[in-house]
Amino acid sequence: MASDAPRKVLVPIADGTEPMEAVITIDILRRSGADVTVASVSSGLQVDASWGLRLVADVLVSDCAGSTFDLGGMPGSTNLRDCEALESLVRKHVSEGRVYAAICAAPAVAFGSWGLLKGLQATCYPSFMEKMPTDATAVELRVVQDGRCVTSRGPGTTMEFALELVEQLYGKEKADEVAGPMVMCSQPANLTVKELNSVSWTSNKTPQILVPIANGSEEMEATMIIDILHRAKAKVVVASVGEKLEIVASRKVKIVADMLLEEAAKLEYDLIVLPGGIGGAQEFASSEKLINLLKKQAESRKPYGAICASPALVLEPHGLLKVKEWIRITRQLVSEAKESFDNQLKIQKLKDTIFFVNEQLTKAKKSGAFSNLITDKINLGEMQVMFRKDYNGVHIEVMAVEDYTFLNSSYVSVLR
């Protein structure tokens, strides 16, 4: 179904919806250019998703009865199954031969109970595999595409799930184009973490963590940070850096904060984490209250972090990355490593130099010759001792240069 024309996509949400599954799917589909409608199956537009997040839909699902969509996607929630308006809409959608998709519990709980997996291979959340209908073939894969139906397993497979939907709508080239800027790991099981200046992050109590959000924040990053920290049993405070609790993120997902930053600033935090998004990061950087909170956190030697645009736009301009100290430490480590390497090679290089100089002197074939020998500071003393005046009848002057990166792998001597 490859096409550059905007495709219409319906993503229903309900109380209890898995926020990562909903937000990541919406975000990635909108990155592809799809026209995504977020529809609430509840009585109002705002829904209480899992893990303490509150999302705001664009419309009620009942308002979509007369609309046609190219794709219907369902994040995990048993509440979706019980919505008659949604069931009617999806059945009509499938009967017209359009793409439909579900993730987590929804393939088994909703699609299975509606008879939409008959004769198909499908997957779902591991603990719901036994609830898959007997007329479908349960497959333990991260993402399964069978005909017009796409299913997936849970929050950790949502990016792959959403990119498969992009491919179904626009083709593989578009899916690859969308995936690139997201800096996805090509092999999810092979993650690399670089930790410098290791410190202990242990806490003897439930940690309280501040996650500020603003208009233009990256919704995927904010949602994953909040969701995962809640799963870890942390007390997460989502604070709006603005005048309203509701913010509109970079891909137009609407998230409702717990409180305004002005109120949140009265509390103490074990950790402050900034999501990215250029617009959101700019809002953070211009918030004196947030910057003061971060500086207080740094002065108290408490951890803080940032992702995407926020390290460069928020932390660095306000001296919260300690760049000069990092540079000093890096230069020191490089210097120590280089000195160790030079010391290991010193003996061999001295041997190479003696051979090379003797060879050059032999070629000179004249007494009273004068030679300059260029070396580095580390080997200067040894060279001066080794090549005293009138070495084999030739006067040798040994000199050291501070920058010898232009030299070849051995030392260079020039006869004159």
Does the active-site annotation cover 124? no
Q: Are 159 and 28 in contact (CB under 8 A)?
A: yes
Cα dihedral 404, 380, 377, 409, rounded to 10, equals 30
- 102 Cβ neighbours under 8 A, 6+ residues apart: 73, 74, 76, 110, 111, 124, 150, 151, 152
Helices (H) and strands (E) in the chain, counts: 13, 21
Any bridge partners for residue 101, and if so which? 73, 150
Residue with tokens 């979706």: 80
- 64, 104, 124, 308: which is the annotated catalytic residue? 104
Cα dihedral 132, 136, 137, 141, rounded to 10, equals -60
CB atoms within 10 A of CB 78: 15
Which strand ranges, in their side-by-side order, compose the sheet holding 235-240? 259-260, 235-240, 208-213, 271-274, 304-306
The whole-angstrom separation of Cα 117 and Cα 194 is: 44
Query: Distance between terminal CA atoms of the chain?
Result: 76
The whole-angstrom separation of Cα 347 and Cα 336 is: 18
Q: In terms of DSSP bridges, do strands 143-146 and 149-152 run parallel, antiparallel, or are they unpaired? A: antiparallel
Give the C-alpha distances (Å, rounded to integers) separating 334 from 186, 187, 340, 377, 416: 30, 30, 10, 17, 36
The whole-angstrom separation of Cα 79 and Cα 180 is: 34
DSSP assignment, residue 148? T
The whole-angstrom separation of Cα 186 and Cα 194 is: 17
- Known catalytic residues are 104
